[in-house]
A and B are shown apart, each in its own frame.
Chain A
Amino acid sequence: MTMGRAGTIARRSFVVGSVALLGGVAFGYYQYKRPPKNPLLDGLGEDEAALTPYVLINADGITLTTPRADMGQGSYSVQAALIAEELDVALDQIRVDPGPPSKAYYNTALANEAVPFPSTDQSTAANAMRGTVDAVMKFMGLQLTGGSTTVPDGYEKLRMAGAVARETLKHAAAEQTGLAVTQLKTDHGAVVLPDGQRIPYQALAATAARIDPVTNVTLRPSTQWRLIGKPMQRVDMVAKSTGTQAYGIDHRMDGMVHAAIRLNPRKGGDVVSFDASAAEAMRGVQQVIEVTGGIGVIADNTWRAFQAADAIEVEWGPAPYPAAQSEHWQVLSDTLDAAAPDATPRDDGDMDAVDASIEAEYRAPYVAHAPLEPLNATVLVGEGRVDVWTGNQIPRMTQASVADMTGISARDVHVHILMMGGSFGHRLEDEVVKRATELAMALPGTPVKLTYKREEDTAQDYTRPIALMRGRGAVDGGKVTAMEIRVASPSILDSQMGERQGMNLPGPDSAITQALWDQPYAIPHYRVVGYRPPKLGPVSSWRSVGASQNAFFHENFLNALIHEAGADPVEERLRLMTDAPSRKVLEAVAEMSDWGGSLDRNTARGVAFSLSFGTPVAEVVQIRQTEAGIALDKVWVAAEVGRVVDPINFENLVQGGVIWGLGHAINSQITYADGMAEQQSFFDFEGLRNYQTPEIFVRGLENRDRVTGIGEPPVPPAAPALAEALFQSTGERPTEMPFANTFTFV
């Protein structure tokens, strides 16, 4: 794969094809030349103008369309702020609307993780490749929220949308008043004339709709910003502080029925037989309907539907994957023993020539997403039209699936994205919508709200894949000189995009070696090899994806090697680091935590670093031995994101990411027995509780121009930093998550 070939194919307009996205470049580039159809132009009234795909101004006011979904990370607010900065409106003057599914909202920043260049490589070749992948993303129309892409994707696009809208409104005002555009200003949702008279944007909508948009606009310099970088109140904060925020699960409609479901807990297995007679006789139960892999119950109340679903006697078919957890580990072990690599994305120096006698084997378990709001969807199958109300991150794919299932054209499938009570990757899947659609197809004209019981949500979770790592390394003269990491992990790409979305993308799966091969260390002999085992259970993207387990492998092993070398983990990393912004986050966290300062007898610390989704993050975790077990004491975090758009939300997300990373590393796993997850609910799968949570000190750095996201990158370093602290405290280095299997925590 060379740039030359990519360029040639692009000029010749070849078809979508291989090396994941490379073959698609050509067709994608062709599509790229045509601007995507603007979805807001459909169904606009007389006085309405859709200036860009992101701004709608009409009699109701100003609506900013925020194509990236909000799972709780404040993306509606951040996106609105980026638009508002250039549009000259205040955040309390506007409404945000997640927008209809449309190809106009392709997600470009995701492409940055899909190319074979480390994100620290801003060379021309690397950026050119990102550009062509960008074209393919446009072609595929991936309206997908994930990979911490909201801010980088929107950082320029949304401000540009705001600026284009503003300049076009000024031209509209010039036309209406006969004044020159240069005499006009904008402020707080209005064009201001030289005499101080204000024309609200709404009054200019009709004219603005008629004239050509002004597209040669320049973005304001950061010195003129009113919103970006300053603390702001998130647009959803009043509702979420008063219990008045509605989520997908709260959707209600006239005539709506409530549904529950029992799906084969051997995920993807069949229903052999079932007896619903007891369920059918229960109060409020209207209908029992067989669906793919399970049985649904329609009732007049969610609890009655739950009760009836539990009362169905079912014989389930076998799991389409090994029944016992030990067999899953065996598959991975066999893969590392004998299979050919999926990819060797890094091979510096000559690993084979080194006597790398320091060895390690580490494991990461399956983990569930378990957002607090269980999966749900409301579907209404009408005459030639389907409406779906749900919270998910993939509205375009959902629209296509529902169109497929119902035979109604995608144009007439309306997916309404509602607020999500968390996702963490769970809502990158749309099985719940498919099941709700099957139920709704049996009841045309009746809105059906399907709510998963918590136990069902856990049982049906498409987990983070398990991963097994074997490492070899060497040290010499107080320095780390060689490190080889071989990792086997089931392919998310195969399971999620291939099996469930029908997009078979050939080539290596970059998630298997994510955050292993692109770390900014100049270890003289440094090799990363990924292995793709045969398919096991269904797996999916989990907050920070491959980085969540790979950073544990990489950094825990690097800490082990540094310990063997007798070096300091901060000093040795600084010595090895090649990327200046990455060095700065490590220096910042060392300074914040007073690294090297004296600690009391019961206290120990560990440090780790990870570069994921383009964001370098370093963390120091401090633990304390108590009579009740090991307590998390303090955590210091520094992250480089180019620009902190909202410092309050930034701090909240970083703290949440650290808590997520620590909590799951300590106590969370999904294990299979008889083909079923052994865990059920928040009593056996929970993450951290309030009393276990450390104090967390956060610093955002802005040492480079490129803007990157923060939703996921704080997660990966948490587990290895804690692992190192456990080693420092006990002399025993953790080799598998969850650590509570081996250590006693408070």
Chain B
Amino acid sequence: MLQLTVNGIVHQVDVEDDMPLLWVLRDEIGLNGPKYGCGVAACGACTVHVGGVAVRSCQTLVSDVDGPVMTIEGLGTPDEMHAVQAAWLEHQVAQCGYCQGGQMMQAADLLTQNPDPTDADIDEAMSGNLCRCGTYPRIRAAVKSAARSMRGA
């Protein structure tokens, strides 16, 4: 049995040590927010926070998880949105939306480390997150809005 704290809730899971965190979250715990896109850290759809840092959950073995896990469901909810989610809504970023949970988790991580990112900072932080629908112009705008609102500006 492995113990995992996800969005503040403690879970006991009986899985192989080498099961990727993504599949523990999705198929064992039943969370849909982290998405499967590639399984090889090439798309970012599965991005979650472990110990406050964005990781690709598809390439994070569950036995290597050494801190609390937060998924997009833990970042905020429709009734109580995180500033990043509110910015995503304000800019109507999503098309299919499948990549956006991962995009928002990556953006939240960026803004925690760097409250006032430049365009180059945004490009660098966000380019591991693929969006096949091509919502990048709106992602950039939403990251900037979220940064402003998190700085209280």
Contacts and interface: CB of A to CB of B under 8 A. Distances in A.
Contacts of A708: none
Given A238-B78, A246-B32, A373 B136 contact: no
Contact of A655 (B72, B75, B122, B134): B134
B95 A690 contact: no
Contact of B135 (A306, A374, A451, A652): A652
A681 interface: yes
A656 B36 contact: no
A104 interface: no
A243 B132 contact: no
B30 A453 contact: no
Given A241-B100, A682-B38, A683-B40, A372 B94 contact: no
Interface in B41-74: 42-43, 45, 71-73
A690 B139 contact: yes
A546 to B, nearest CB: 21
Contacts of B23: 301-303
B73 A241 contact: no
B147 interface: no
Contact of B27 (A73, A258, A372): A258
Given A301-B23, A689-B130, A243 B96 contact: no
A72 B40 contact: no
Chain B contact residues, majority secondary structure: loop
Contacts of B137: 655, 693, 695-696
Contacts of A243: 32-33, 71-73, 75, 100-101, 104
Contacts of A141: none
A744 interface: no
A469 to B, nearest CB: 26
A649 B35 contact: no
B31 to A, nearest CB: 9
B134 A239 contact: no
Interface stretch (A10-18, A95-103, A229-237, A552-560): A229-237
Contact of A372 (B22, B78, B81, B96): B96
Contacts of B45: 372
A249 B36 contact: yes
Interface residues of B, number: 61
A695 B136 CA distance: 10
Interface stretch (A132-140, A173-181, A418-426): A418-426
Interface stretch (A23-31, A53-61, A658-666, A670-678): A658-666
Contact of A72 (B32, B71, B97): B97
A50 interface: no
B92 A234 contact: yes
B148 interface: no
B7 to A, nearest CB: 11
Nearest to B45: A372
A641 B122 CA distance: 33
Contacts of B100: 240-241, 243
A655 B19 CA distance: 38
Nearest to B37: A372
Contacts of A302: 23, 26-27, 36
B37 A236 contact: no
A73 B135 CA distance: 11
A454 B92 contact: no
B39 interface: yes
A303 B97 contact: no
Contacts, number: 186
A303 B99 contact: no
B127 interface: yes
A283 interface: yes
B98 A660 contact: no
A74 B95 contact: yes
Contact of A250 (B16, B32, B76, B77): B32
A681 B35 contact: no
B27 A303 contact: yes
B130 A301 contact: no
Nearest to A714: B134
A184 interface: no
Interface string B1-41: 00000000000000110011011001110101101111110
A373 B98 contact: yes
A682 B36 CA distance: 12
Interface string B86-98: 1011001111111
B91 to A, nearest CB: 9
B129 interface: yes
A236 B129 CA distance: 21
A241 B85 CA distance: 5
B111 interface: no
Interface in B132-146: 132-140
Given A240-B100, A370-B132, A681 B42 contact: yes
Interface in A616-655: 648-649, 652-653, 655
A688 B77 CA distance: 30
A301 B30 CA distance: 11
A649 B135 CA distance: 11
Nearest to A369: B132
A649 B92 contact: yes
A71 B130 CA distance: 17
B81 A374 contact: no
B140 A648 contact: no
A124 interface: no
B94 A240 contact: yes
Contacts of B130: 372, 682, 686-687, 689
Contacts of A693: 134, 136-137
A682 B135 contact: no
Contacts of A423: 96
Nearest to A250: B32
Contacts of A233: 89, 92
A245 B97 contact: yes
Interface in A480-498: none
Contact of B81 (A72, A241, A252): A241
Contacts of A370: 132
A371 interface: yes
Given A72-B96, A374-B36, A656-B133, A238 B42 contact: no
Listed from nearest, the 5 A-B pairs whose CB atoms lie closest are A72-B96, A421-B98, A243-B72, A659-B134, A240-B97
Interface of A: 71-74, 233-234, 236-247, 249-250, 252, 258, 283, 301-304, 306, 370-374, 419-424, 451, 453-454, 648-649, 652-653, 655-660, 663, 681-683, 686-693, 695-696
Given A372-B43, A655-B134, A689-B136, 20 more contacts: A72-B94, A242-B77, A243-B73, A249-B36, A250-B32, A258-B27, A301-B19, A302-B23, A302-B36, A372-B131, A372-B132, A373-B98, A420-B96, A648-B92, A652-B92, A657-B134, A682-B38, A689-B130, A690-B136, A693-B136
Interface of B: 15-16, 19-20, 22-23, 26-28, 30, 32-33, 35-40, 42-43, 45, 71-73, 75-78, 81, 85-86, 88-89, 92-101, 104, 122-124, 126-127, 129-140
25 contacts: A72-B98, A239-B78, A241-B100, A242-B72, A242-B85, A243-B100, A244-B32, A246-B32, A247-B35, A249-B36, A303-B22, A303-B27, A371-B96, A372-B98, A372-B99, A372-B133, A454-B36, A648-B92, A656-B134, A656-B135, A688-B136, A690-B131, A690-B136, A692-B127, A693-B134
